């Protein structure tokens, strides 16, 4: 294993960024040091960084090479020295796992979140009309109650993904994906749509 592989297996991009003075927020975003960045546009994950502003990207060695104007080998040597590493092969437990570049993965996740949220939002809009009580004394249908309770919250999240700034969108997508909320909501919405089809009901907004 080369020194490059050893460094990348032992040190994450975020660790290096913080070690060399970059302020990384809880969403893994920082102001990019490679252009005049007033709002955090540099995304840092375990083994890859990408700037949504200037397009700078690479691994932990690329980051340090750009920060200090070094060659890749000099950057690897600096990392090894600063983190007290002996450039020998790491154990299997710390070998890096292949991942997609963050920007592509983020876009895929964002599209999935938006599609699931809007599908559920349309279902709530149907329920709000179809199951509204016809008289003041009529008991509330559970679906009408759910639509009243959830509509504004789901609409807000869909709006964030539509018109929110980058940091807001990244934070929301991370939250929805890591908590499995999107997987649950996707399955829930599909199940409810199948129940409607099975019962022969016709949403009024369809």
Q: How many domains does the chain have?
A: 2
CATH number, domain with residue 29: 3.90.580.10
pLDDT of residue 1: 60
137 and 111 in one domain? Answer: yes
Domain-ending residue, one of 94, 115, 144:
94
> What Cα–Cα distance (Å) separates residue 41 from each residue in 48, 84, 105, 204?
14, 30, 16, 43
Domain-ending residue, one of 72, 94, 116:
94
- pLDDT, tens only, 61-93: 999 999 999 999 899 989 988 888 865 544 444
pLDDT of residue 68: 93
Task: Output the six-digit token pair for 190.
Answer: 């599909």
> What Cα–Cα distance (Å) separates residue 132 from each residue in 121, 137, 196, 200?
16, 12, 16, 19
Q: If you write DSSP's letter for every residue of 17-83 in order, what string do you get?
A: HHHTT----TTSEE--TTTT-SS--EEE-SS-EEETTT--EE-HHHHHHHHHT--HHHHHHHHHHHT
Average pLDDT taken over every residue of the chain? 85
- pLDDT, tens only, 137-170: 899 999 999 999 999 999 999 999 888 888 888 8
Confidence of residue 39 (pLDDT cuts 50, 70, 90): confident
106 and 82 in one domain? Answer: no
Q: Quickly list H helices, 99-180.
A: 102-130, 142-163, 166-178
Contacts of 38 (CB under 8 A, 6+ apart): 31
76 and 118 in one domain? Answer: no
145 and 78 in one domain? Answer: no
Q: Which domain holds residue 81?
A: 3-94
56 and 139 in one domain? Answer: no
Q: What is the pTM (predicted TM-score) of this model?
A: 0.50
């Amino acid at each position: 294993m080369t020194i490059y592989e050893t460094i990348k297996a032992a040190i994450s991009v975020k660790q290096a960024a913080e070690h060399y003075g970059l302020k990384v927020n809880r969403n893994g975003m920082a102001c990019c040091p490679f252009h005049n960045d007033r709002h955090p546009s540099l995304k840092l994950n375990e083994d890859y960084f990408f700037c949504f502003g200037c397009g700078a990207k690479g691994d932990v060695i690329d980051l340090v090479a750009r920060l200090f104007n070094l060659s890749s080998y000099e950057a690897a040597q600096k990392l090894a020295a600063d983190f007290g590493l002996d450039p020998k092969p790491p154990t299997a437990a710390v070998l890096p796992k292949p991942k997609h570049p963050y920007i592509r993965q983020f876009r895929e996740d964002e599209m999935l979140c938006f599609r699931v949220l809007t599908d559920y939002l349309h279902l709530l809009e149907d329920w709000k009309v179809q199951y509204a009580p016809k008289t003041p004394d009529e008991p509330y249908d559970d679906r009408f109650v759910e639509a009243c309770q959830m509509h504004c919250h789901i609409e807000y999240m869909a709006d964030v993904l539509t018109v929110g700034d980058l940091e807001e969108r990244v934070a929301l997508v991370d939250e929805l994906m890591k908590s499995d909320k999107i997987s649950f909501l996707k399955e829930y919405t599909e199940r409810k749509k199948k129940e409607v089809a099975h019962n022969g009901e016709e949403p009024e907004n369809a």
